[in-house]
Structure formats: structure tokens, C-alpha cells
Amino acid sequence: MMMGRKLMETLLVLPVAMLAACGGDVAGTEQAVDVGENAQGVLFAPSAPASGNILDATTNLGPVTLGGAVQTYFTTNPQYYSFKVQVPANSLVGLEVTHLGSSMYLDTGLFVYGPKNSAGSYGTTVLAQDDDAGYGQLSKLASVPLVQGGEYLVVVSSSNGSGKQFRLQDVLRGWRVHVAHAAPGSLGLPAHAVGAVHHLAAPVDAGHG
């Protein structure tokens, strides 16, 4: 019985060994794994374009008001949608692809670039990113500190989202710094914020956001 088993193992190994000896692709003999929709996703970031402006590697859908939300759907695989968000200086911003308003089994990536410079470029440096910290395989950045005020670019991506919809919500969570000794307006904050750190919004709720 033992000899028969060893003979069988030898016969199974021989074709792979012969293929390797002949310069064949041994890795190609491995069985492909079928990855279902519930499997762990991969973070798909847009490739940096030759222009040096990440905007050029995305499909821009215009501005989103801070504290607002936008809903749309992917039309191809992979795809990168971008949204422009105006942010005050020294802010804490929350971003989330919410469960409410997004298709089941959708896998997204979330990226933040900027702020936009005088030449109109957001650059290619990722300030913050997330794969699936939200509901299921949806993306969530609970609190992104943005010191410099200006226009930022938020990118939502998916490798397999064609035909699926998503909802992006952004929230101004509060001020990043204590400004007890700052003059009103000197840090881009409203006068009532000077002397305290104000939390302006409740956390984004994936089930109700």
C-alpha cells in the first residue's frame, strides 16, 4: 500500500519536473483560484499621469459640498471617479462610501490628493487612502487631518464595479488644532472657533449616512 502511494506521488511530480527542465512555466501549471465577490479586495489606485496631475487619470464628476453626498455608478472596469472638495484650513474631514446607497458586494478604494496649486494641479501624492474600512468592502476614512485650506481631490475607484452604484459622503468633523492664542481668521477658522476645538458633525454612520 505504501509503495503504491509513493509511486503515485512520483508520477504526479514527474510532469512538473520535466516541464521545469525544459524551461516551461511551472507557475502556469497551478490551478487557478476562482475569487468570488465576497473575497478580500485589492486597493486600486489611479496611475500617475505624465502631466503630474492625478486629475488627468480620473473621470471628474465636479464638486461635492463639504457635508454633502453624491451618488453615481461605475460603467467600466477598472474605473476612477474624482470629486472636488473645498476644505477650510486645519480641518478634520471624514469620507465614506456608505452602505446606504451603494450596491451589494461592491469593492471600492478611496484616495485624497491636493490641495490644488496655482497651476491647477493636485499632484500625484496620496494624502490618505483606504481599501475596505467601511461596511463590507466599502471604503472609509474616518478622520483626515488637512492643515492647508483649499480644493482637494477625492477619488473613488473600483476594479469590478461596472454596473454598480455607490454613494460618497463627506463630513467636516472638526478643527485639527487648538487656536487659543490665534487671532480670528488667522488660521482660516471662523471667529467663534478661536479658543476651542469645535466638533461640527456627528460621525458618518454607514447604516444611516
Q: Are strands 91-97 and 69-73 parallel, antiparallel or unpaired?
A: unpaired
Alpha-carbon distances, residue 62 vs 7, 82, 160, 203, 206 (angstroms): 66, 8, 23, 24, 23
**129 Cβ partners below 8 Å, 6+ apart?**
43, 45, 109, 110, 111, 112, 141
Q: Domains of the chain: which residue ranges?
A: 54-193
Residues 44 and 131: their CA atoms lie apart, in Å, by 8
**DSSP state string for the chain:** -HHHHHHHHHHHHHHHHHHHHTT--GGGGSPPP---TTS-----PPPPPTTS-GGGGSEEEEE--TT-EEEEEB-SSSEEEEEEEEE-TTEEEEEEE-STTS-TT---EEEEE----TTS---S--SEEESSSSSTT--EEEEEEE-S-EEEEEEEEESS-BT-EEEEEEEEEEESS--TTSPTTTTS--GGGTTSPPB-SPPP-TTT-
CATH topology of domain 54-193: Jelly Rolls (2.60.120)
The pTM is what? 0.67
Which contacts of 1-7 are long-range, i.e. CB under 8 A and separated by 24 or more positions?
none
| CB-based burial, 87-106: b 16+ in 10 Å, e otherwise | bbbbbbbbbbbbbeebeeeb
Walk along the chain (209 residues) and give the pLDDT tens digit of each residue. 444 544 444 444 433 333 334 443 333 322 222 333 333 445 778 999 999 999 999 999 999 999 999 999 999 999 999 999 999 999 999 999 999 999 999 999 999 999 999 999 999 999 999 999 999 999 999 999 999 999 999 999 999 999 999 999 999 988 765 444 444 444 444 443 333 333 333 333 334 44
| CA distance linking residue 175 with residue 191, whole number of Å | 13
